[in-house]
Amino acid sequence: MTDRFEPIELKQLLQIIFKELENNKSIFGIPDEMFFKPSDSNPFQTEVFNQKIATPIGVAA
């Protein structure tokens, strides 16, 4: 193990994520039961360019 962080390609990162999700029902050790699942009654839900946006606030907004 190294004490340095090195970037990896997006393709490789997605392969890691989808493999873990398929095999373990988790991503980076976080179980899918803890994933955010928006409801239809979400007061923050809005629409932009005819696409629903469940959470238009936060880090990825």
What DSSP string describes 5-18? -----HHHHHHHHH
Both tokens of residue 3?
Answer: 């004490």
- List, for residues 9-31, the tens digit of each pLDDT value: 999 999 999 999 999 999 999 99
H helix or E strand, kind and range, residue 22: helix 10-24
pTM (two decimals): 0.59
At 50, list the tokens.
């005819």
Residue extents of the structural domains in the chain: 10-53
> What are the pLDDT digits (tens) for 39-56?
778 787 888 899 888 776
With beta carbons less than 8 A apart as the criterion, state whether 38 and 54 touch.
yes
